[in-house]
Amino acid sequence: MVRIKHRYLLVNILYPDAKYSPLRPAATAGDDIPYTVQFRRPSPDQMNGGLLMRLIRDGVVELFGDYGSGKIAGSLQVKYFSSATSTAIIRVSREHYRLVWSALTLTTRLPRPVDQPCVIQVVRVSGTIRKAEEEAIRRARLSIRRAEAAAKSSSVSIAGTIPTASTAAAAGDDDFDMINGIEDPDELGDLDDDDDG
């Protein structure tokens, strides 16, 4: 019996617009927050794994129709979603992960209860969930460091915002090392993968 192989997409939701910033609801512009923190801000509370699942299904139906949605329906699963870091890990079968990926890429808005413009970036495609997890942690760390650097360099005193940024983790992932390829080199490396039979 051959095991079903999966791909784990480490996904990162970015918010390019300033309007909905929950960090400073009162401030209209929010100019003093560094851009990197603005883009990688926490998702709203209504956003959760189920909503992400719906978003993906709708996207795949729109792009690939019944065929695509039927193909991915069996294996699609949101393994992890953190609204604090706007990070998610999505599982799909290995044959069809590109369908899900392109559906994520062509998403421009989060669905109804949230209804914000967003950009969803896939930062890692991995054969095991453990690799995806390690990568998520690494990127979260990097982006905190980056936010701190940005805060230091901007002359405006943002003593109020930075602790919230680093502790409440407005830190998503970072993309310093995307140059070396996005996919894990180990094609058959999901031996330590314990979540499927």
Partner 1 sequence: MFYDLNVPYSANEAHLSRTLAFISELGYNVVALNHSIVGKLPPQITCAIPDPLPFKDVPPKLEIRRRVTLTLTESYQNARLAELARAYDILAVRPVDERTLQLACSSLDCDIISLDLTQRLPFYFRFKMLSEAVKSGKRFELCYSQGVLGDSAARRNLISNATQLIRASRGRGLIISSEAKATVGCRGPWDAINLATVWGLAQDRGFEAMSKEPRSVVVTAQLKRTSYRGVIDVVYGGEKPALPEKDVRAVDGGEGKGKTKQQATTGLKRKAVNEAVAGADARVEAAAKPISNREAKRRKHQARLSSSDAKEGATNGRVGGGGDTALASADGERKEAGLQPAMEAG
Q: How far apart are CA 189 and CA 90, in angstroms?
A: 18
The DSSP symbol for 119 reads E
Q: Which is nearer to partner 1, 106 or 168 (CB)?
A: 106
State the number of binding residues for partner 1 (CB under 8 A): 27
Under rule CB under 8 A, which residues in 59-118 are in contact with partner 1?
98-99, 101-102, 104-106, 108, 117-118
Q: What are phi and psi of 144, to 5 degrees?
A: -65, -45
Segment near partner 1 (CB under 8 A); pick from 20-28, 85-93, 173-181, 189-197: 173-181
Collapse the DSSP code of 90 into the 3-class scheme (helix H, G, I; strand E, B; otherwise coil) and give the result.
strand
Residue 121, H or E segment: strand 119-126
Nearest CA-CA partner of 34 in 26, 24, 25: 24
Residue 170 Cβ vs partner 1, minimum distance, rounded to whole Å: 13
Q: How far apart are CA 180 and CA 163, in angstroms?
A: 32
Segment near partner 1 (CB under 8 A); pick from 47-55, 77-85, 170-178, 189-197: 170-178
Q: How far apart are CA 127 and CA 155, in angstroms?
A: 43
Segment near partner 1 (CB under 8 A); pick from 32-40, 79-87, 129-137, 156-164: 32-40
Q: Which residues bind partner 1 (CB under 8 A)?
A: 14, 16-18, 35-36, 39-40, 98-99, 101-102, 104-106, 108, 117-119, 121-123, 175-176, 178-179, 182
